[in-house]
Chains A and B, each alone.
Chain A
Amino acid sequence: MELIGQQFFNLEIMQKVWPLLLRGLGTTAYLCALVIPLGLAGGLGVALISLSRRRAAVWAAVVLVDLFRAAPPLVLLILLYSGLPFAGINLSPAVAVSLAFFLNSSSYYGEIYRAGIDSVAHGQWEAARSTGLGAVPTIVYVVLPQAVRNVVPDLVSNTIEVVKLTSIASVVSFPELLYSADMARSLTFNSSPVVLAAAVYVVVLWPLVRLVSRLERRLAAH
Chain B
Amino acid sequence: MSAWERFVETFFKPAIIAQYWPDLLKGVLVTLEIAVAVVFTGLLLGLALASLRAYRIVPVNALIVVFVDVLRALPPLVAILLIYFGLPSVGINLPSFVVLWLVLSFVLAAFAEEIFWAGITSTPKGQWEAARSTGLSFSTTLAHVVLPQAIRLGVPPLTNRTIAITKNTALGTVIGVGEILNAATTAQSFTGNATPLMMGAIAYIALFVPVVVLGRWIETRFAWRRA
Interface residues of A (CB under 8 A from B): 3-4, 7-8, 66-67, 69-76, 78-79, 82-84, 86-87, 160-161, 164-168, 170-171, 178, 181-182, 185, 189-191, 194-195, 197-198, 201-202, 204-206, 208-210, 213, 216-217, 220
Question: Looking at B75, B76, B170, which has the most chain A CB atoms within 10 Å of its CB?
Answer: B75
Do B208 and A71 touch across chains, with their CB atoms under 8 A apart? yes
Do A209 and B78 touch across chains, with their CB atoms under 8 A apart? no
Contacts of B167 in A (CB 8 A): 70, 72-73
Which of B18-26, B54-62, B79-87, B134-142 is the contact stretch? Answer: B79-87
Kindly identify which residue among B81, B122, B170 contacts A194, using a CB–CB cutoff of 8 Å. Answer: B81
B193 at the interface (CB under 8 A from A): yes
Q: Name the 7 nearest CB pairs between A and B, nearest first.
A: A191-B86, A70-B208, A72-B170, A205-B73, A164-B75, A167-B75, A86-B194
B2 at the interface (CB under 8 A from A): no
Tell me which residues from 151 to 205 in chain B have a Cβ below 8 Å from any Cβ of chain A.
163-164, 167-171, 173-174, 180-181, 185, 188, 193-194, 197-198, 200-201, 204-205
Bound-complex Cα distance A201 to B118 (A): 25
Do B72 and A78 touch across chains, with their CB atoms under 8 A apart? no
User: What 0/1 pattern do residues 40 to 76 of B give for CB contact below 8 A with A?
Assistant: 0000000000000000000000000000011011111
Bound-complex Cα distance A42 to B209 (A): 21
Nearest residue in A to B196 (C-beta to C-beta)? A83
Do B69 and A75 touch across chains, with their CB atoms under 8 A apart? no
User: What 0/1 pattern do residues 93 to 125 of B give for CB contact below 8 A with A?
Assistant: 000000000000000000000100010001000
Contacts of A7 in B (CB 8 A): 86, 89-90
Do A210 and B85 touch across chains, with their CB atoms under 8 A apart? no
Kindly identify which residue among B79, B169, B173, B205 contacts A198, using a CB–CB cutoff of 8 Å. Answer: B79
Do A170 and B77 touch across chains, with their CB atoms under 8 A apart? yes
Nearest residue in A to B174 (C-beta to C-beta)? A171
Kindly identify which residue among A82, A178, A206 contacts B77, using a CB–CB cutoff of 8 Å. Answer: A178
